[in-house]
Amino acid sequence: MRRLGWSDVTPRADWLNRRQILAGAGALGLAGPAFARIEAKASRFSTDEKPNSFEEISNYNNFYEFGLDKGDPAQNAGALTVDPWSVEIGGLVERPGSYPLDDILKGVTLEERIYRLRCVEGWSMVVPWIGFELRTLLERAGVQPGARFVAFETLVRPEEMPGVRSRILDWPYREGLRIDEAMHPLTILATGLYGEEMPKQNGAPIRLVVPWKYGFKSIKSIVRISLVEKMPATSWNVQNAREYGFYSNVNPAVDHPRWSQASERRIGSGFFAPRIETQLFNGYGDQVAQLYAGQDLSVDF
């Protein structure tokens, strides 16, 4: 069952106003709206592009634990139990442990981050995430000097995840970032979108969002975060290293072996709408290009 998002029913101008009003109301301690909403402040990191509708964002998904088709996650993820939820933080950290989600959320400031999402398959969306910077959680756990990478794992619960009962991938779904990528302010852990709790098909209750990388890096329904010394194994790279590199930065000049990455189809733009030119680092180059200074992006793809 899905609740209506306000931008479904309100024009964008109203929605923006509402967003500002809500942010202001939170700051002033005024009563919020009658329905359950996550309070979050707007962010200077947000794009001003028009977000996709809640309908589009929550019905066109990749979440192979729930099936291969774009509609499968919306169909099947309802069965996922997301409460209680804990995230195991371990490896090279000062304070390893199993952190209940409630405790994690107590120490963070939720923000709305409207980001472009570019899937390696050649489509894109704009999503108004609610989340917080990954670095705030890593700093709380205390990163040890030897940690050079961060590894993430998704829940594996075959009873609730029909895709996990077949061998589409080598479960658990795994992803990873270099430590400087993980500490970058654009990298967030998202717990909602459109000001509401994360739909299960989008990776409830907590998922990664790395907007300058192909969508598969943004791992969903995270149960484990490990600080490690060596570059960790990641699901799509293990599946096919020639097609999916560890970095997987959005790059129109580095084609997938089986298709061009020069352009993308914006979901919801209509069948005859022209394709959009894909931008290096998905348009976030001003903020992230320096992370890769001296690297050849066609080698480290």
Ligand X SMILES: Nc1nc2c(c(=O)[nH]1)N[C@H]1C(S)=C(S)[C@@H](COP(=O)(O)O)O[C@H]1N2
Residue 125 CB, shortest distance to ligand X, in Å, is 6
Q: Which long-range contacts (CB under 8 A, 24 or more apart) does 35-41 make?
A: 35/3, 36/196, 36/197, 37/195, 37/196, 38/110, 38/130, 38/191, 38/192, 38/195, 38/196, 38/197, 39/110, 40/110, 40/111, 40/112, 40/130, 40/192, 40/195, 41/109, 41/110, 41/111, 41/112
Q: Is 52 in the site for ligand X (CB under 6 A)?
A: no
Q: Which is nearer to ligand X, 80 or 143 (CB)?
A: 80
Is 207 labeled as ligand-binding? yes
Q: How far is CA 296 from CA 157, 238, 299, 301, in A?
A: 39, 21, 5, 8
**Nearer CB in complex with ligand X: 99/173:** 173
Give the per-residue contact string, 104-123, with ligand X (x = CB under 6 A; - = no). Answer: -------------x-x----
The reply to whether 154 sits near ligand X by the rule CB under 6 A is: yes
User: Rounded to 5 degrees, what angle do the CA atoms 267, 120, 169 make?
Assistant: 115
Q: Is 153 in the site for ligand X (CB under 6 A)?
A: no
Report the residue number whose CB is nearest to Mo ion.
119
Q: Confirm whether residue 154 is marked as ligand binding.
A: yes
Exactly one of 219, 225, 227, 250 binds ligand X (CB under 6 A); that residue is: 219
Binding segment for ligand X among 43-51, 60-68, 100-108, 141-149 (CB under 6 A)?
60-68
- Please say which residue, 216 or 301, places its beta carbon nearer to ligand X: 216
Beta bridge partners, 125, equal 117
**What minimum distance in Å lies between the beta carbon of 178 and Mo ion?**
20
Query: What letter does residue 281 receive in the DSSP assignment?
Result: G
Among 6, 173, 281, 301, binds ligand X (CB under 6 A): 173
276 known member of a binding site: no
Q: Which residues bind Mo ion (CB under 5 A)?
A: 62, 119, 215-216
Burial track 258-281 (b if 16+ CB lie within 10 A, e otherwise): eeebeebbbbbeeeeeeeeebbbb
Under a CB-based contact definition with an 8 Å cutoff, are residues 79 and 160 in contact? yes
Which parts are annotated binding residues? 61, 64-65, 119, 154, 202, 207, 218-220
Binding stretches for ligand X (CB under 6 A) = 61-65, 117, 119, 154, 173, 202-203, 215-216, 218-221
Annotated binding site for Mo-molybdopterin: 61, 64-65, 119, 154, 202, 207, 218-220
